[in-house]
Amino acid sequence: MTKTVIKGGTIVTADLTYKADVLVEGGQIIEIGPDLAGDKVLDAEGCYVMPGGIDPHTHLEMPFMGTYSADDFDAGTAAAVAGGTTMVIDFALPNPGESMLDALKKWDNKAARAHCDYSFHMAVTWWGEQVFDEMKIITERGINSFKHFMAYKGSLMVNDDELFASFKRCAELGALPMVHAENGDVVAEMSARLLAEGNTGPEAHAYSRPTIVEGEATNRAIMIADMAGVPLYVVHTSCEESHEAIRRAKMLGKRVYGEPLIQHLVLDESEYFDKDWDHSARRVMSPPFRNKQHQDSLWAGLASGTLSCVATDHCAFTTEQKRYGVGDFTKIPNGTGGLEDRMPMLWTYGVNTGRITMNEFVAVTSTNIAKIMNIYPKKGAVLVGADADLVVWDPEASKVVSAKTQVSSIDYNVFEGKEVKGLPRYTLSRGVVAAVEGRVEAPEGHGQFVARPPGTAVSKALSTWKELTAPRPVVRAGIPASGV
């Protein structure tokens, strides 16, 4: 077996920075130390050697709003490795009434084309005995997280009683519930009113989903998770109201994780007021981009640890697809790309500006995600025995983001024209060189499914505590506890 040595670099993990070589064989890291030798040498002089990025939130070839997101597992994961990401976690979505097992089969088939490793979250889009039963089978198949949409009324949305039932089932199974937190009833009502009043353009998308709508849903989901005795993961946390709810819950000892997107950290609501309809529509996603104060809140959350991960929610639609919504903003497919740019953008706007440290960068792009998703230290670590999913990061390399040079298959880039400094020289996926300076080398189909078992230490600790503090009848002399 070939031994590959990554030579001359500085290893950066979530908690350490030190100079050492890394020796890789059979897809894993087999040695870390000075002066290592191998059959193949990758020059890391002047570079940082970090765990490859893990994107915990993608929608590749997602059926949504009458179409499919344009980047599939081929194009999407090619974009991922080009940008230093070595694993994606996508959402398997059963149609309301559809079996989770059937949905999983579809996602298994789509993902067979992946250039890097992948896993799935399973969405709970309806409720019934079948869903209750299948959730157990799904966890046995290595999927330990269940996503709930509190928005998209009439399609993916579930109500509070369904949320509570599903969260309680997650608690029993040691699984992690996730929420898209927006009040779907209010959004639906506001959208209809805006349209009726003649607000048909993409700017109305932002008006229809104010921050308080997200904050309310986040608070509600936190309460329901607390009642169910289960941790909670809030996807695409975009504003102070939602962050505040998460921060407060954490300070109260609740196990809640918040995930800002790179788009919300860097782009603001002015994008929706551009005179060019296409420009604004291309940036329509839910929740929408917010103002600078909200961005500051998200950055502060990453620095303080009240927010845990940075994702992309990569759900890329072409301009042609976005134009389905000309004359009616509610028909613009919701979603933006970002897989290729998350790492360089976060490095540039986070590490280079001093908003976060290099170690925090590793934590929020990889290690925290691996821990929350229960795949650490197989993923998210530079340790002997870990998968050799690594990125050799050149802090001096720079480029201007452009749709003309991107790997993603769509015809624009929401970060167009931004200069990034800090780029992957090599991306390694299980020891295979998956990309060199942005050129993809790992073949289609190289990616493997990564099973994520239920029962994290956090979920076990929480259920122990909930059991200990559960309501118990007071035993009183002469009065039966049952009240009979």
Question: Which residues sit at the interface with ligand URP, rule CB under 6 A?
Answer: 59, 180, 285-286, 313, 315, 334-335
Considering the complex, what minimum distance in angstroms separates the CB of residue 335 from ligand URP?
4
**String marking each residue 57-86 x if it binds Zn ion according to CB under 5 A:** -----------------x---x--------
CA 6, 10, 16, 20 dihedral sign is positive
Separation between Cα atoms, residue 147 and residue 145, nearest integer Å: 7
> Which of 31-39, 42-50, 179-187, 345-353 is the region at the interface with Zn ion (rule: CB under 5 A)?
179-187
Q: Kindly tell me which of 7 and 290 has the beta carbon lying closer to Zn ion.
A: 290
Considering the complex, what minimum distance in angstroms separates the CB of residue 51 from Zn ion?
23
Give the one entry of ligand URP, Zn ion, none that residue 334 binds, where binding means its C-beta sits below a cut-off of 5 to 8 angstroms depending on kind.
ligand URP
Site for Zn ion in 259-318 (CB under 5 A): 313
Give the one entry of Zn ion, ligand URP, none that residue 382 binds, where binding means its C-beta sits below a cut-off of 5 to 8 angstroms depending on kind.
none
Q: Which amino acid is at 127?
A: W
First-to-last alpha carbon distance for the chain, in angstroms, is 72
Size of the site for Zn ion (CB under 5 A): 5
Separation between Cα atoms, residue 79 and residue 115, nearest integer Å: 9
Q: Kindly tell me which of 84 and 335 has the beta carbon lying closer to ligand URP.
A: 335
Q: How far is the CA of 105 from the CAs of 62, 65, 122, 450, in angstroms?
A: 14, 21, 12, 15
Considering the complex, what minimum distance in angstroms separates the CB of residue 130 from Zn ion?
24
Q: Kindly tell me which of 165 and 234 has the beta carbon lying closer to Zn ion.
A: 234
Q: Kindly tell me which of 267 and 315 has the beta carbon lying closer to ligand URP.
A: 315
Q: Which residue is nearest to Zn ion (CB)?
A: 180
- Look at residues 149, 154, 158 and name the one whose alpha carbon lies nearest to residue 59: 149
* Residue 269 near residue 288, CB atoms below 8 Å: yes
Q: How many CB atoms lie within 10 A of CB 146?
A: 25
Separation between Cα atoms, residue 389 and residue 366, nearest integer Å: 10
Give the one entry of ligand URP, Zn ion, none that residue 444 binds, where binding means its C-beta sits below a cut-off of 5 to 8 angstroms depending on kind.
Zn ion
Q: Kindly state the tokens that stand for 188.
A: 């639906």
Considering the complex, what minimum distance in angstroms separates the CB of residue 481 from ligand URP?
47
* Residue 369 near residue 321, CB atoms below 8 Å: no
Considering the complex, what minimum distance in angstroms separates the CB of residue 404 from ligand URP?
25
Q: How many CB atoms lie within 10 A of CB 481?
A: 10
Q: Does 180 bind Zn ion (CB under 5 A)?
A: yes
Give contact residues for Zn ion (rule: CB under 5 A): 74, 78, 180, 313, 444
